[in-house]
Amino acid sequence: MVLKESKNIKYFIVIIFLVFNSFSATNTTDAIYKDVPVKTKKIDEPLFSKFPLSATQNVSNKLDSVFNRLNKRHGFHGSVLVAKNGKLIFNNEYGYADFKTKTKLNNKSTFQLASVSKQFTATAILILYEQGLISLNDPVTEYFPNFPYKNITIKHLLNHTSGLPKYFWLAEHKWENELPPVNSEMIEMMADYNLPLFFRPGTRFDYSNTGYFVLASLVEKVSRMDYGVFLDKNIFNPLNMKNSFVYRFEKDSINENQLKGYRLHRRRRYAVISGTVNDAIVGDKNVYSTAEDLLIWVNALNSCKIISDTSLYEMYTKGKTKYNRNVPYGFGFRIKNENSEKIIYHNGKWNGFSTSIKQYTDSDLVIVILEHSNYKYMNYLSAKVKTIVDQNFDETIL
């Protein structure tokens, strides 16, 4: 009789312990994520320095003249940064952060990166890959059993050879709730509606926002973290990118210095572009950052502080179709050759924001341009900046 009562007491204690721990895990962020590995250790040293003024003054004068003119005549309102060999040559802002209050942009003004966000999603996938939690050849159905497309792999998603239909159309035509869908809800919608593929996976290249939202959803599923939390823990916080974050429209709080996107309305008046039903989906867009943070990011990426040199090489290498044809995309970056120089880059455009980050590999030049008033000519601007730097930066006096 005493033995039976003792066993009952033990069972009762175990049940209380499990209930208590279950309650704690659902109410404490650290309890949820404490057993999930973090890839990147805190980096204390600064990840970029500046060239002396004597080497950059002529470049700065020329670039200031160009962008002040673009601001006054053509409505450029944004941030411009140039670095060579990882060191800062030029960084300045032009125009307004808020057109109503006439508040000026500053180096903490955070821009919606639009499709430039995709490189962070690709890196998150490679972090999980290096932790042994996924394989790039895994089918998506291994993680989402109800995903209706059976032969699509993670690598297909990374280099846009999946053939997936556009989730934008699905959200705009089939979503019926008041608040916009998040990633998990859109994954369910894709399973429910099973729209036809554009082509058989692996056979062609077709740039796909859908593929990168699915990749971010996979990051959330495997890591058991919100996509934004994963980037905070593995990239932004370790690299001291203090002005970088993920934002989901109508789901997250507005951050300090977070910019709105604008469009030219009439008579040089600018109107705010409001959010849409697609704006709570992350992975293909919705990372916010500054030009300085993006230089920290590129320097850390290229020095293999985030992923290995093997993963970085694959990220910066053109993908292939199943027929061995090259596609102009690695993992999160477009890749092209211009005047015999390899350029690793990405542009973005969304809700008034126009963004560009370009690495000219032979000259070890990085150009970041971020804008939030619907400016269209980002490729022209990057080429203009490169020409000015090539003609005016004086390396002989260093």
Cβ distance 200 to 163 under 8 Å? yes
Cβ distance 237 to 246 under 8 Å? no
Q: What angle do helix axes 209-223 and 183-193 make, rounded to 10 degrees?
A: 120
Q: What Å distances lie between residue 298 and 164, 363, 396, CA to CA?
A: 29, 15, 25
- pLDDT (tens, 9 = 90+) of the chain, 398 residues, equals 433 444 444 444 433 334 334 433 333 333 333 445 565 667 766 678 899 988 899 999 999 999 999 999 999 999 999 999 999 999 999 999 999 999 999 999 999 999 999 999 999 999 999 999 999 999 999 999 999 999 999 999 999 999 999 999 999 999 999 999 999 999 999 999 999 999 999 999 999 999 999 999 999 999 999 999 999 999 999 999 999 999 999 999 999 999 999 998 877 789 999 999 999 999 999 999 999 999 999 999 999 999 999 999 999 999 999 999 999 999 999 999 988 899 999 999 999 999 999 999 999 999 999 999 999 899 999 999 999 999 999 776 65
pLDDT at 340: 87
pLDDT at 43: 73
What letter represents residue 243's amino acid? Answer: N
pLDDT at 195: 97
pLDDT at 336: 96
pLDDT at 394: 79
**HSE-up of residue 84 (Cα within 13 Å, Cβ side):** 18
pTM (2 d.p.): 0.89
Structure tokens at 255: 């951050």
pLDDT at 90: 97
Place of tokens 């916009």: 180
Helix spans in the chain (H): 2-27, 29-33, 53-74, 118-130, 154-158, 167-174, 183-193, 209-223, 227-231, 291-302, 309-315, 378-392
Q: Residue 223: helix, strand or coil by DSSP?
A: helix
φ/ψ of residue 92, rounded to 5: -155, 165
Alpha-carbon span 11 to 144, nearest angstrom: 36
DSSP string, 302-362: HTTSSS-HHHHHHHTS--B-TT--B-SB-SSSEEEEETTEEEEEEEEEETTEEEEEEEETT
pLDDT at 39: 58
Structure tokens at 260: 């709105």
Alpha-carbon span 352 to 279, nearest angstrom: 13
pLDDT at 208: 98
Angle, alpha carbons 51-108-68 (nearest 5°): 70
